[in-house]
Amino acid sequence: MLMHTTVVTALSAALSAVLPATVTQPAGHAPAQPGPGYCVLPDQPATSEGYLIASASSPDLVHPFPRPPAREPTASERLEFAGFPNVSVLGASGRGGPPERKVVVTYTTNVDEVVTLTNAAVVSDDGGATFGPPSRTPLRESPIELHDGRFFATEYYPARTGPHTAALGILTSSSLDAGESWLRSEATLTTPGDLLPGGAAHGAPIQLADGTILISVYARYSGTGAYQAEVYSSQDGGTTFTRRGVIATPSEGFGYTEAAVAQAVDGSLLAVLRHDGGKYSTLHQSRSADGGRTWSPARELRFSGLSPDADCVVRGVAPRLLLTPAGVLVLSAGRPDNWLAVSPDGLGETWLEPRVTYHNRDGVWDTHGSSGYTGVAAVGPHRLIQVFDNCKLPGVRPDGLLNETACPAHGRFEHGGWYAIKRRLFTVAPPGAGLLDLGAMRRRGDLTLDTTMRWTSRYRPWTRPAAAFDGSTAYWSGAVAAGRGRYVLRLDRPYSFTRIGLSLRPGHPAGARVYSSRDGRSWGEPALTVTGRTDYAMRYSELRRTGRHVKIVTTPTSGCDPEIGRACSMLNEIELYAERSSRGS
């Protein structure tokens, strides 16, 4: 249903009647204890430690814009709904200048019901540090960039059209348009089961190396009537989808809904999904080694070291997964509170350092305050942004009035009762000390490039030599050659190198040889040889050489994108590490 103006006016009047005459200060805000066996997560430490380092000492406001002057909203301001945020980083063509990256946060502006969704978007041009004013957008879920250059996103609710089919809205945009306008079409979803109404397409899509687009959906069938988590695939660019596999089926009164699916560092698919039916929503996980066709039995996601006796069960909703360009897998979720955890090896079998990143507790119930719905995106190889809401959006009671039990207007919240969107920035610790900032060195004149990897296209604005150290492992964000490639970095002085990070052609077997030289003429034997390796993020290797010049020779591979030619090679991303006191000789 659509919330018309007359309904909002009635809701506003009812809300005014329940608002307190005076605002009380927050009482105790310790997390409620859920009982034995469930995890109680620690707060984000104040000091910089571990894999996740808070880059901003406190969350910053994304919405409302501009920042409101009062701690608590008025009755009418509480009808300016904002919740369930997502975040994406989109590479767009600069208008008359170099290409640029935009951090786009989208959020829902309607009540928490199956309604005609309305959404808003805010954009940052400085890596998520600041955001501009909101504008209307059709986006609900995070878009991705496809290999053909389109930005691609799904709408949230599929509409059943028959016993085995449903229609799902698809939104696409061109990078040449900077993602500022979206074309809507409808895809047909086909399933072998006897489909019932309901369900949603939750999470960001994935595109596999062969061009297949995957989306995760939870749906109900006549056999059980309960939700199960599934994966659908499209071979035609998003026009039609067929059910490829079932992640988890319902049983014994339990169902599986929101599933985040991501490609791990080894190319397998990891799913973290919401499990409903018990006292709390908990998180489970499953893995597919065949592109989503078959899945391992879903098992409880557990954290170790938080319970005195054993691992503890993780509560949560709406999980989000992110494989960073540096190969660290990050899990974001919430309820209660909002939190992050990391899998340093990029596989997601073991999760470390779970910590609360934001809470808006009222001392009454641990699921009051923020909805626990979050978004997470990489804004660099070792930097990420997490977005979350301040108060869970209200539902609607059978009598048509607001149901604000999750975020009541009683003035006890730590950060007020605003329906607000906030963000935090984090640094993900690199794999060692001595990371050279190649981009900054080039801007200062301390680094020059000598390369044959200069293939580019007006449709591929991010494909250029310097894109090999731009912090992104997006498919077209690198240096490309139509065949064998040579890529030489000439530094300002000798360095004692300790480590190199390389991502070659994403999703495809590729090879390269790495050399170092003191004079740029004598190279000797390779310091590192990579053969037939498939990268989905950077891989790190020791590089115990001293030199002023580093050369990467990329091996040509077949089966390349037609626009490049029959053979190609890619240097998708490179990092160099050196001893900090190194002066060479």
Phi and psi, residue 145, nearest 5°: -100, 125
**Residue 416: strand, helix, or coil:** coil
CATH number of 435-578: 2.60.120.260
Which of the two residues, 142 and 344, has the higher pLDDT score?
344
Q: Residue 36's pLDDT is what?
A: 82
Which of the two residues, 466 and 1, has the higher pLDDT score?
466
**Residue 248: strand, helix, or coil:** strand
Q: Are 332 and 355 in contact (CB under 8 A)?
A: no
**Residue 552: strand, helix, or coil:** strand
Residue 359 neighbours by CB under 8 Å, 6+ apart: 29, 31, 43, 336, 337, 338, 369, 370, 414
pLDDT of 585 above 80: no
* Prior bond of 336 cis (ω within 30°): yes
Question: Two tokens at 13?
Answer: 């009047």
Burial (CB < 10 A; 0-12, 13-18, 19+), residue 574, is buried
Q: pLDDT confidence of 96, banded at 50, 70, 90?
A: low
Q: Are 475 and 506 in contact (CB under 8 A)?
A: yes
Burial (CB < 10 A; 0-12, 13-18, 19+), residue 52, is buried
Phi and psi, residue 355, nearest 5°: -155, 145
Span 557-567, mean pLDDT?
A: 94
| Residue showing tokens 């927050």 | 26
pLDDT of 28 above 60: no
Q: Show me where the domains of the chain are located.
A: 435-578
Q: pLDDT confidence of 491, banded at 50, 70, 90?
A: very high
pTM for this model (two decimals): 0.93
Tens of pLDDT, residues 47-62: 556 888 877 657 899 9
Candidates 282, 367, 190, 468; CA nearest to 273 is 282
Q: pLDDT confidence of 97, banded at 50, 70, 90?
A: low
Q: Are 296 and 355 in contact (CB under 8 A)?
A: no
Candidates 87, 536, 153; CA nearest to 348 is 536
Percent of the chain surpassing pLDDT 70: 90
Residue 87 and residue 377: Cα distance in Å, rounded? 6
Buried b (16+ CB within 10 A) or exposed e, 361-392: bbebebbbbbbbbbbbbbbbbbbbbbbbbbbb
Tens of pLDDT, residues 155-203: 999 999 999 999 999 999 986 665 678 999 999 999 999 999 999 999 9
Instruction: Give the mean pLDDT of the chain.
Output: 90
Q: Are 331 and 317 in contact (CB under 8 A)?
A: no
Which stretches of 508-555 are assigned E, i.e. beta strand? 509-517, 528-534, 539-554
Q: Given its phi and psi angles, is residue 178 left (phi above 0), alpha (psi -120 to 50 degrees) or beta?
A: left
Tens of pLDDT, residues 249-306: 999 889 999 999 999 999 999 999 999 999 999 999 999 999 999 999 999 999 988 8
pLDDT of 21 above 60: no
Strand partners, 214: 206, 233
Residue 444 and residue 67: Cα distance in Å, rounded? 37
DSSP 168-236: EEEEEEEGGGTT-S-EEEEEEEE-SS-EEEEEEE-S--EE-TTS-EEEEEEEEETTT-SEEEEEEEESS
How do the residues of the chain divide into helix, strand and coil, expressed in percent and rounded to 5? 5, 45, 50
Q: Residue 1's pLDDT is what?
A: 30
Q: Residue 124's pLDDT is what?
A: 95
β-pairing verdict for 447-451 and 479-481: unpaired
Span 542-550, mean pLDDT?
A: 96
Span 390-406, mean pLDDT?
A: 91
Buried b (16+ CB within 10 A) or exposed e, 126-162: ebbeebeebeebbbbbbbbbbbebbbbbbbbbbebee
Q: What is the dihedral of CA 514, 518, 523, 525, to 10 degrees?
A: -70
β-pairing verdict for 165-174 and 183-190: antiparallel
Q: pLDDT confidence of 24, banded at 50, 70, 90?
A: very low
Residue 459 and residue 273: Cα distance in Å, rounded? 36
Question: Two tokens at 573?
Answer: 């991303």
Question: Two tokens at 531?
Answer: 């053969």
